[in-house]
Homo-oligomer: A and B are copies of this chain.
Amino acid sequence: MSEENKPNVIVIGAGGVGVVTAYSLSFNGGSKVSMVIRSDYRHVIKNGYTINSCDYGKIEGWKPDFIYSSTAEAAKESSVFFDYVVVTTKNIPDGPKNSTVSEIIRPLVEANDKMNSDKKTSVILVQNGIDLEKELIEKFDASRLNLISGIQFIGSTKIGKGVIDQIGKDRLFVGSFDPSASDSKQAAQKYIELYSNKDYNIVEYEPRSRYARWKKLLYNAAINTTTALVGLDVPRALQFSINGQTSTEKMIFEPAMREIIAIAATEGIVIEEEFIDFFLNISKNILFKPSMCVDAEKGQLMELEVILGNPIRIANKNNVSTPTLSMLYGLLTLVQSKLKEQKGLLKFDEKTLSLKESS
């Protein structure tokens, strides 16, 4: 395929996941790869990325084909149709208004539409949680979008300016959010071709993408959340209860996972009970601090709504009792609000002891 005919892919979010995503696409060579890089923009323009990857080895000075500092800039400067808009940022619908996924991708979607009103934009959300697509269906003309779900298992972290450390193999599952949308399914399969690097990464088509998201929620809703509340990596969260008279596994992780299974069941999605043990077992054997815990410790907002808020809202609608998840949600809402106050997104008046309208 000639350079000109290659599809354009733009990766939004330049953390551990985003950089490996862009690098994998670039390594494959089937697409022209753009990145939106916010905080490390100048550094990467000058020096490129240093990537220590368990999949690709040690890479120095790597740059994607194009670098933009924002999606607005990309839309304005690029003058290309972005076939794939890949979102690897955190999904925080309760965060600042201008950092919701719809607001982030809006300039690209609108520029694409202006440029070619016959071609759909494929949006791939490589993010945690459930019901992520609903925001986009609400905010855009969904008939103009292929909404694609990316479920990634990877251990990759930005450890410094332009420096990425990937310690866990990249396994990506891609499928259409709507299992009956044939354009989205086709676009998902095409993306897999662009992303796959045989012997390097594992990329699979996932026809049951909602099932896969619920399955991953077993881990995220039960384990990720708990570690964020107590500020511990997973093996410590498991072992520290044994020292006392409680059991994190029996009292929190298992009940929370059973509640996720019960909610999913009311949506017609059967998550096999075996996955409870599966997630508990992998948790015991790796010294790992999940994302919400890392975010809370860094003073960053957590993906609380897509990981816990959305499943609990489904549970309420479908009359599923979720005592464990609701308690975690109630407590984590307080932590999230504390983080918001620290970031100035929420103001509390210590004189009247009440919330002020945030500016």
Contacts and interface: CB of A to CB of B under 8 A. Distances in A.
A258 interface: no
A336 B236 CA distance: 12
A239 B353 contact: yes
Contact of A327 (B241, B252, B336): B252
Contacts of A268: none
Contact of A94 (B230, B237, B244, B246): B244
A226 interface: yes
Given A244-B337, A252-B331, A285-B353, 16 more contacts: A229-B230, A235-B354, A236-B338, A236-B341, A239-B355, A240-B341, A241-B330, A241-B334, A241-B337, A243-B355, A244-B333, A244-B336, A245-B333, A246-B333, A287-B353, A323-B327
Closest 8 CB pairs of A and B: A240-B337, A230-B334, A235-B353, A251-B330, A244-B333, A246-B330, A246-B333, A327-B327
A231 interface: yes
Contact of A334 (B248, B324, B335): B248
A173 interface: no
Interface string A309-321: 1000000000000
Contacts of A354: 235, 239
B309 A245 contact: yes
A262 interface: no
A243 B240 CA distance: 33
A127 B152 CA distance: 51
A230 B333 CA distance: 9
A7 to B, nearest CB: 40
29 contacts: A229-B331, A230-B334, A230-B335, A231-B335, A235-B353, A235-B354, A239-B348, A239-B354, A240-B334, A240-B337, A240-B338, A240-B346, A240-B355, A241-B333, A243-B337, A243-B355, A244-B336, A246-B326, A246-B329, A246-B330, A248-B334, A251-B326, A251-B330, A252-B330, A284-B353, A285-B353, A287-B353, A323-B327, A327-B327
Interface of A: 94, 226, 229-232, 235-237, 239-248, 251-252, 284-285, 287, 309, 323-324, 326-327, 329-331, 333-338, 341, 346, 348, 350, 353-355
Nearest to A336: B244
A333 B240 contact: yes
Nearest to A94: B244
Contacts of A237: 334
Task: Name the residue among A235, A252, A337, A341 with the largest chain B CB count within 10 angstroms.
Answer: A337
Contacts of A338: 230-232, 236, 240
